[in-house]
Amino acid sequence: MKRIAIVGASAAGLTAAETLRGRGWDGHLTLIGDEPRPPYDRPPLSKQILTGDRSAERAVLRSPHDLARLEADLRLGQPATALDVAHRRVHLGAGETIRFDALIIATGVTPRRLPDSDLAGVHVLRTLDDALALRAALLAGPRVIVVGAGFLGTEVAAAARTMGLPVTLVEPEPVPVRHPFGDRIGALVADLHRVHGTRLRCGTPVRRLRSTGGQVTGVELGDGTTLPADVVVMAVGSAPATGWLTGSGLSLADGVVCDAWCRAAPGIYAAGDVASWHNTHFATRMRLEHRTNATEQAVAAAGNLLGDAIPFAPVPYFWTDQYDTRIQAYGIFPPDADLRVISGDPSNGRFTAAYGHQGVVTGVLGWNAPRELRTLRRLVVERALWTTVTNTGPCPPLAGDRCRENIRPRTLGVYS
């Protein structure tokens, strides 16, 4: 194996490259990225970069010296446009082709947009340039609407609110972050935003954006009301960046379909946000848009490419920072899981909780409780029996507000 190409030069692609070199593989390595910037970190984009607490330079993942030490042929600002599996070639936008013996796909995801949203004042957030453009817009003191109250949307709303701006968070589900955390934790996140002065409009979809002369002026909701806005941030999810793989023969279905070893085809692997694979620990197929997974899966995919033959079966980890609150989680959180508080008290802003599904613990969550949560990770690793998980604190209450009637029935364990 003389030539390896990695498509995608963000956290996963960079880690894959470093893993190959770190393990002594000294063949010809090509690292291809569609953005002209050197690899940078994304979690700060919706947090410190927006608020200005951290400069763009500090988001860079490696110094020029460290990148040079990879001894890779770096092709930045050159999107891959097609993959020829039979002839082992990646086609680049400039018409060039890159030959390979083995390939790692790490092209990430692309933000979804609402229809007819190509307007001044409308933003998405995926890249560093997106974040800098949004920050510049926020510095003008606009009225802000964030559409979508998942992790990205709630973080952007918190950042804008922290900057002192009037912010409204609009979400079709009855509570924020309902996927993956469910109604009760979602209600706590809603309260967190209200306490900090962010307005919430949950349970109402967006009908369309309003505009004048190509500039967004507001958001019209499904109930007919219109909220005025100068800046609208669309945080309505993302799609795996697999357009360039259409017609390649690789199986594509919510990402690049891989086996338990992150392998999409002989000699072709995928890692990070774009990869869908079978996680044997949970006996389920998954695709994760988590920072930690990008690194872990890249290490695993590169290792398997070199012959490890080890299934990638991690306990997923992810976190979100909003205002002064840090929510962290290990595992998976099926929609019909039960929830039990293990320690602390949701009403005073510090607790841990476990999620049970089909008789075992599948996830644990910490709310401002990092150290304790880490010790609970073993419940997920060991698939602890749900019957052995005891409650020491009260379960988070359901939201007692207008969102309540929209909450669909779901199993809430012993406290339902």
Residues within the interface to another protein (CB under 8 A): 15, 18-19, 22, 41, 43, 58, 61, 291-292, 295-296, 299, 317, 319, 321, 326, 328, 368-371, 373-374, 377
Query: Burial code of 195-205, b = ≥16 C-beta within 10 A, e = fewer?
Result: ebebebbbbbe
Q: Residue length, the chain?
A: 416
Nearer to another protein, 40 or 386 (CB): 40
3-state class (DSSP) for residue 206: strand
Query: Cβ distance 116 to 143 under 8 Å?
Result: no
Give the tokens for residue 248: 């390649």
Nearer to another protein, 112 or 377 (CB): 377
Distance of closest approach, residue 370 Cβ to another protein, in angstroms:
2
Q: How far apart are CA 89 and CA 151, in angstroms?
A: 37
Distance of closest approach, residue 137 Cβ to another protein, in angstroms:
26
Q: How far apart are CA 301 and CA 178, in angstroms?
A: 31
Query: Cβ distance 230 to 160 under 8 Å?
Result: no
Distance of closest approach, residue 295 Cβ to another protein, in angstroms:
6
Give the tokens for residue 389: 């998980």
Please name which of 133, 175, 74, 125 lies closest in space to residue 401, comparing C-alpha atoms.
Answer: 175
Distance of closest approach, residue 332 Cβ to another protein, in angstroms:
17
Nearer to another protein, 164 or 370 (CB): 370
Nearer to another protein, 78 or 304 (CB): 304
Nearer to another protein, 21 or 89 (CB): 21
Side-chain-side CA neighbours of residue 394 (13 Å): 8
Query: Cβ distance 229 to 145 under 8 Å?
Result: yes
Nearer to another protein, 242 or 328 (CB): 328
Distance of closest approach, residue 262 Cβ to another protein, in angstroms:
16
Distance of closest approach, residue 288 Cβ to another protein, in angstroms:
13
